[in-house]
Amino acid sequence: MATLWMHRHIVIVSDADRAAANQAAVEMFGGEAQRQTFSVPLSPTGLPPATHWGCFTSATEGHRQAMLVRLRANRVASARFWRLESGTGLLAESNHAGRADKTGGACDWPDALADMALKVITPPSPLLPGV
């Protein structure tokens, strides 16, 4: 049986749009737990403060269409997305200028971060060499 969750969406929004993006996630997926959707802090240097927030989520076709409706309505103006086929991980669609013509190729979370020139902000891990 094929999954109904045929898509994987990487979505990155600006810090200013984070609340609106999480609200959209609550509406699309249902439940207050979705307000934690954009939970990965990002910045160009990998240091605080976060300039952007990201998520990497499974999505059904219904979720995909719901997201496009919200994008067309410009509810989260800064949103950049990379839609992957959930079975293969290959890029099916993106609204990022540098990636839009590369559908069918491999794409993953680090590629999206590279497209945006962003890094995940990680706290120091004490007692490790070099940190």
Partner 1 sequence: MAVRVVSRIRDQDDYLSTTLSDGLYLRYDAATGKFAPAPLAGTNAVGVNLPGGNLILAGGRGTGNAAPGVVKIQVATPGASGSALATLADVLTATNTGVKIAVRPFLAAPNSGPGDADLSANELTSYTVQADKQVAARVKRGDGTLYTARFGEQQAALANTSGATLTALETEVNALKARLRAYGAILDPPFSPASVQGLVLWLDAGQGLFQSTGGAAATANADPVGQWMDQSGNARHGTQATTAAKPTLRLNQVNGRPALRFDGADDFFSLAAWPAGATSGELFLVVKLVADPPSDSTSGLWSIGASGSDTHFPYIENNIYDDCLSTVRKNLGDPLPSLSSAYHIYSVASAAGAWTARLDGATLFTTATNTYGVAASPKLGQSLSTRVLNGHIAEFFAYSSVLSAPDRVSVLTHLSTKYAIPVS
> From the CB of 1, what's the least distance to partner 1, in Å?
5
Q: Provide the Cα torsion 75, 76, 82, 84; round to 10°.
A: -50
List b or e across 75-113, with b for residues whose CB sees 16 or more CB atoms inside 10 angstroms: ebeebbbbbbbbeeeebbbbeeeebeeeeeeebebebbb
Does residue 117 bind partner 1 (CB under 8 A)? no
In the complex with partner 1, the residue whose CB is nearer, 101 or 118, is 118
Binding mask 52-91 for partner 1 (x = CB under 8 A): --xxxxx---------------------------xx----
In the complex with partner 1, the residue whose CB is nearer, 14 or 41, is 41
CA distance 14 to 7: 23
Q: Of residues 30-59, which lie at the interface with partner 1 (CB under 8 A)?
A: 31, 33-34, 36-41, 54-58
In the complex with partner 1, the residue whose CB is nearer, 14 or 38, is 38
